[in-house]
């Protein structure tokens, strides 16, 4: 008798701007996976974002959080248009979701494909702490005789630094295993984690991150993992000079955010780089890019970051085979370079890129 299909219930949170154009593409890819994978999906549409805030007064309705917690196995998040000026009552829903669901790791693979590399191949992962640092958003402003002074808390805890470093070490080991199973695909010989910090200046906060990361990665199970460290400013320099050198980069929240957009430039576009917000037993796939107001509504957003985020979510939900199918189809689309969106120098619309990937699935 054939084994019963596994059904995954996925929350879809398009958010704002091009989030609404790329999340439907993510859904289509899940619906188009080959039936031989024995995997089924059901979907629930959920609200969050600046539009939601303007309509309802809250950017992250309780219903969205409750549905994710009670009904869903995973989710896809598009993007939000968070304003750059303070708006009373508004708070970033994706930052809040990461904390409410304790999705403590933000995993961001950045890689070139065989055909899309114009230098040495880049294949690295930024593992960004996802719950604390300046993202605790405890800010105050006070009046002083010299004018206003604003302050923000940068919180670094041993617990969060330790668990993010452990997951970084585990990812390095997993990547090494994948490389070993496909000889000739990489010249890297040993797994490596680079700890990023600024503890030369912030000796207590980043100092704690650095020390804790060192301790976590000194565990016996990581004995085959090379551990290096880099102060964040020279990390940017070295990353831009020699990106092919890096394997796994572990960083506190804000540095991880900034490094991942920079790394996206190295591989050609923010429209290519996925992420997964990962906790114990739950994952939200989310393209690294924002709501891209400059191209919103034109139908030309690159859906690849989202399609790769779908695959990444599936990986963390234990569906590696399904994830591999999506990665292969996306890489083939990029390598053939026939249907590329304008950010990649092509003329294809979101729909045309999606159709090409679906054809390859
Ligand atoms: N995860 C998120 O929800 C998230 C992430 C980053 C920024 N934001 C928000 O997005 C809004 C816009 O921010 P921004 O303009 O600084 O950054 P952005 O990432 O939206 O856009 C930066 C540039 O990259 C391009 N780009 C981004 N994604 C693309 C894609 N898929 N295809 C083609 N081109 C793409 C845009 O057109 C733009 O030129 C802000 O309100 C910010 O708060 C949200
Ligand atoms: O604009 C927002 O509400 C959140 C942006 C968000 C972040 O983590 O800072 C984005 O830059 C990202 O990398 O996910």
Write the CB contacts of 230 (distance below 8 Å, at least 6 apart in sequence).
194, 195, 196, 238
Q: Which residues line the pocket of ligand 1, CB cutoff 6 A? A: 18, 79-82, 94, 270-271, 286, 289-295, 301-302, 305, 341, 343
Q: Which CATH number applies to 1-116+267-360: 3.20.20.70, 3.30.70.20, 3.40.50.920, 3.40.718.10?
A: 3.40.718.10
Q: Which of 13, 291, 344, 345 has most ligand 1 atoms within 8 Å of CB, for mutation?
A: 291
Q: Is the reported ipTM for this assembly greater than 0.85?
A: yes
Q: Which of 84, 43, 109, 113 is nearest to 288 (CA)?
A: 109
Atom 13, ligand 1: residue with shortest CA distance: 290
- Domain ranges in the chain? 1-116+267-360, 156-266
Q: What does each of the 361 residues of the chain score in pLDDT, given as a tens digit?
A: 567 889 999 999 999 999 999 999 999 999 999 999 999 999 999 999 999 999 999 999 999 999 999 999 999 999 999 999 999 999 999 999 999 999 999 999 999 987 666 667 899 999 999 999 999 999 999 999 999 999 999 999 999 999 999 999 999 999 999 989 887 777 788 999 999 999 999 999 999 999 999 999 999 999 999 999 999 999 999 999 999 999 999 999 999 999 999 999 999 999 999 999 999 989 999 999 999 999 999 999 999 999 999 999 999 999 999 999 999 999 999 999 999 999 999 999 999 999 999 999 9
Among the atoms of ligand 2, which is closest to the Cα of residue 286?
14
Q: Which of 361, 357, 284 is nearest to 317 (CA)?
A: 284
pTM: 0.96
Query: How would CATH label the architecture of 156-266?
Result: 3-Layer(aba) Sandwich (3.40)
Write the CB contacts of 215 (distance below 8 Å, at least 6 apart in sequence).
162
Query: Which residue shows structure tokens 């958003």?
Result: 137
Ligand closest to CA 275: 2
**Measured from the CB, is residue 80 less than 6 Å from ligand 2?**
yes
Ligand closest to CA 291: 1
C-alpha torsion sign, points 115, 119, 123, 129: negative
CA of 259 to the centre of ligand 1 (A): 15
């Amino acid at each position: 008798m054939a084994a019963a299909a596994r059904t995954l219930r996925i929350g879809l949170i398009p958010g704002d701007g091009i989030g609404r154009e790329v999340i439907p593409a993510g859904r289509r890819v899940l619906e188009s996976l080959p039936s031989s994978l024995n995997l089924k999906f059901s979907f629930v549409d959920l609200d969050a974002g600046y539009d939601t805030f303007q309509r309802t007064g809250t950017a992250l309705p309780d219903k969205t959080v409750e549905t994710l917690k009670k009904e869903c196995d995973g989710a896809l998040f598009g993007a939000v248009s968070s304003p750059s000026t303070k708006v009373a009552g508004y708070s970033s829903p994706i930052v809040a979701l990461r904390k409410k669901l304790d999705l403590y790791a933000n995993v961001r693979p950045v890689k070139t494909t065989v055909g899309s590399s114009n230098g040495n191949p880049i294949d690295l992962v930024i593992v960004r702490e996802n719950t604390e640092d300046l993202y605790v958003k405890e800010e105050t402003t006070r009046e002083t005789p010299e004018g206003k002074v604003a302050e923000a808390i940068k919180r670094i805890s041993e617990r969060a630094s330790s668990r993010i470093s452990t997951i970084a070490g585990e990812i390095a080991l997993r990547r090494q295993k994948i490389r070993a199973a496909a000889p000739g695909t990489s010249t890297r010989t040993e797994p490596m984690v680079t700890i990023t910090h600024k503890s030369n200046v912030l000796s207590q906060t980043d100092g704690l991150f650095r020390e804790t990361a060192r301790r976590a990665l000194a565990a016996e199970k990581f004995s085959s993992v090379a551990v290096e460290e880099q102060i964040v400013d020279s990390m940017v320099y070295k990353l831009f000079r020699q990106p092919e050198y890096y394997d796994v980069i572990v960083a506190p929240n804000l540095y991880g955010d900034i490094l991942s957009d920079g790394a996206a430039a190295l591989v050609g576009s923010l429209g290519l780089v996925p992420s997964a917000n990962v906790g114990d037993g739950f994952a939200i796939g989310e393209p690294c890019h924002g709501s891209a107001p400059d191209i919103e509504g034109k139908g030309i957003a690159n859906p690849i970051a989202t399609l790769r985020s779908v695959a990444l979510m599936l990986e963390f939900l234990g569906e590696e085979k399904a994830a591999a199918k999506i990665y292969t189809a996306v890489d083939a689309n990029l390598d053939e370079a026939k249907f590329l969106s304008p950010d990649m120098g092509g003329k294809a619309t979101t729909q045309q890129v999606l159709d090409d990937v679906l054809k390859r699935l």
